[in-house]
Structure 1
Amino acid sequence: MSVLIAIPARHASTRYPGKPLAELTGATGVTKSLIQRSWEAARAVPGDHRVVVATDDARIRAHAEAFGAEVVMTSPDCANGTERCAEAAAALGGGFEMVVNLQGDAPLTPHWFVEDLIEGLRADAGAGVATPVLRCDGRALNGFLRDRSEGRVGGTTAVFDAARHALYFSKEVVPYTAETYADDAPTPVFHHVGVYAYRPEALAAYTAAAPGPLEALEGLEQLRFLEQGRAILCVEVEARGRQFWELNNPEDAPRIEAMMRDMGMP
């Protein structure tokens, strides 16, 4: 059975309308859209995986098809990327071993994050979903705290139990720590990376359920699984010297472009 990597992308973002078409310039001066860079990140994952862009917007469809992507049109009523991935998988006839949601605002996602995710879910029969977490160093943690103090939503953090099953995800910085850390020092805070792998049965149950109060409060789609009592495996991944950030707000674009220059990404 094959793995479907779906990249959900919508134009009508509340915080950043038109975000998938936002342009990012790499280290060599080449400018590409956010959705194209996310598609290229998905295509870099080794294996015979099917990669599609899942959107409800004709502008995104035309743009994605122009750079060679396969596009699946989905309903504008999808509330989040998980629902859009479920609809795309169904439109393609199902039959996938798992569906990977590589969100269209994460162009810096290294291919090994997705590889580790697929392997982790295959190895944990008790989990219906898997998602990567990255231990924050002091620099990343301070960036999260600065964003929150200035009223911005930065990254999402995760806490999990001894079996690596998620306890909670939040846009606040959890767990609380009063300590200060040097830029390169490891911290007890884990950055949740916005990538998911779902077993088909978990994905079907998700779309059949209404959002719960925690999902509504935090605006985090994965909390619906926890509110259903479904286990989410948190797979700790290694940065291997790569920087990682998601494009959540317009002011994140210069930060991501600086990271691309630092890493020599074209």
Structure 2
Amino acid sequence: MSVLVVIPARYASSRYPGKPLAVLRGADGTEKSLIERSWLAATSVSGVDRVVVATDDARIEEAAGAFGAEVVMTSPDCANGTERCAEALGKLGGDYEIVVNLQGDAPLTPHWFVEDLIAGMRRDPETDVATPVLRCDGRALNGFLQDRANGRVGGTTAVFGQSRHALYFSKEVVPYTSRVYGDAEETPVFHHVGVYAYRPEALSAYGTWSTGPLETLEGLEQLRFLENRRSILCVEVEARGRQFWELNNPEDIERIEGMMRDMHMS
């Protein structure tokens, strides 16, 4: 049994058209596109048998092929990355144990986030989907709150029960807390990391379900699983001194490049 990593990437993002081809400059001045940096993050994960980029755009196909990625062309009608992963799995076939969706806007994803996610799925065979969560320190939480105060949608937060299975995900900061935290303090807020691991059966079923009201309101694809009574295991991961942020808006480029400089990432 093996692990497939799919990197869904589309050009026509409503918030940031052409986002996968946006250039990020590393600490040493090296420039690479967002999709290349996401592919490099995926290929650094141990225990993975295959990594593919799934896209509907010839420009992304050409760019990904140029740096050596395997590309699967998918329909422009895919509503989100999970649907694109499901289509890619259908085209690729194969007896995969786990399919990982490492979204193409998360180039700072450390390899151990995905490795811990895969391990969590194997420990809990009843889980349909798993996703990493990262406890926010005060610096990260303040970044979330600043984005919302400025009318921007930044990261996503997750809440889960004692079993570690998700109760909800939101683009708002949940749970609410009125306390002001110092940069290095732990907070009760968990940042949802944009990576998913699916059982192939659950991934294949996803595209057969209609979009529910919560997914529509929040614009969060994982809520379709919760609305259809599928379990999502939240696997808490450790930053180990690494900063993490997803590229959601053009303004995030400067933030991510700053993090790369801080972490001396080329």
TM exceeds 0.5? yes
Match status 1:241 vs 2:241: yes
**What is the 5 A alignment of 1:243-258?**
243-258=243-258
Quote the sequence identity (%). Answer: 77
Map Cα deviations across residues 22-63 of structure 1 (whole Å, 9 max, x no partner): 000001110000000000000000124200000000000001
Matched to 1:130, the amino acid is A
Unaligned regions of 5+ residues in structure 2, if any?
A: none
Paired letter, 1:204: S
Does residue 1:147 correspond to 2:147, yes or no?
yes
- The amino acid that maps onto 1:257 is E
| Cα distance in 1 between the residues matched to 2:75 and 2:51 | 19
Asked whether the 8 Å contact 2:135–2:187 carries over to 1, the reply is yes
Matches within 5 A, 1:200-239: 200-239=200-239
- Residue 211 and residue 94 in structure 1: after superposition, are their counterparts in 2 closer, same or farther (change >3 A)? farther
Q: Secondary structure at the match of 1:208?
A: coil
Structure 1 stretches of at least 4 aligned residues deviating more than 2 Å after TM superposition? none
In the TM superposition, what is the alpha-carbon distance from 1:4 to its structure 2 partner?
0.6
1:261: how far off?
A: 0.6
TM-score (ref. length: structure 1): 0.99
Distance in 1 between the 2:17 and 2:150 partners? 21
Output aligned runs, 1:163-202, within 5 Å: 163-202=163-202
- For 1:46-125, list aligned pairs within 5 A: 46-125=46-125
State the alpha-carbon separation in 2 of the partners of residues 46 and 95 from structure 1: 19
AA matched with 1:81? G
Matched residue, 2:14: 14
Root-mean-square deviation (CA, aligned residues, Å) is 0.6
Given residue 155 of structure 1, which amino acid in structure 2 is its aligned partner? G
1:122-163, CA deviations, whole angstroms, 9 ceiling, x for partnerless residues?
111221000000000011101101100110001000000000
**Structure 2 counterpart of 1:138:** 138
Answer yes or no: is 1:264 the counterpart of 2:249: no
Number of residue pairs matched by the alignment: 266
- SS, match of residue 187 in structure 1: strand
Distance change (3 Å), C-alpha of 1:83 and 1:94: farther
Give the drift of 1:98: 1.0
Can you list the C-alpha shifts for 1:172-219, whole angstroms capped at 9, x where unaligned? 000001111111000000000000000011111211101100000000
Aligned-residue offset at 1:94: 3.5
Cα offset for 1:227?
0.2
CA deviation after TM superposition for structure 1 residue 106, in Å: 0.1
Please say if residues 21 and 34 of structure 2, whose CA atoms lie closer than 8 Å, have aligned partners that are also in contact.
yes
What's the TM-score once normalised by structure 2's chain length?
Answer: 0.99
Q: State how far apart, in whole Å, the 2-side matches of 1:205 and 1:94 are.
A: 17
- SS for the counterpart of 1:136 is strand
Separation (CA, whole Å) in 2 of partners of 1:179 and 1:127? 34
Which amino acid counterpart does residue 26 of structure 2 have in structure 1? G
SS at match of 2:207: helix
Matched-pair contact (CA < 8 Å) for 2:132–2:234: yes
Q: Distance in 2 between matches of 1:178 and 1:22?
A: 36
Instruction: Report the secondary structure of 2:169's partner residue.
Output: strand
Give the Cα separation in 2 of the matches to 1:179 and 1:63: 45
Counterpart-to-counterpart distance in 2, 1:247 and 1:180: 26
User: Gaps spanning 5+ residues in structure 1: where?
Assistant: none
Partner of 1:31: 31
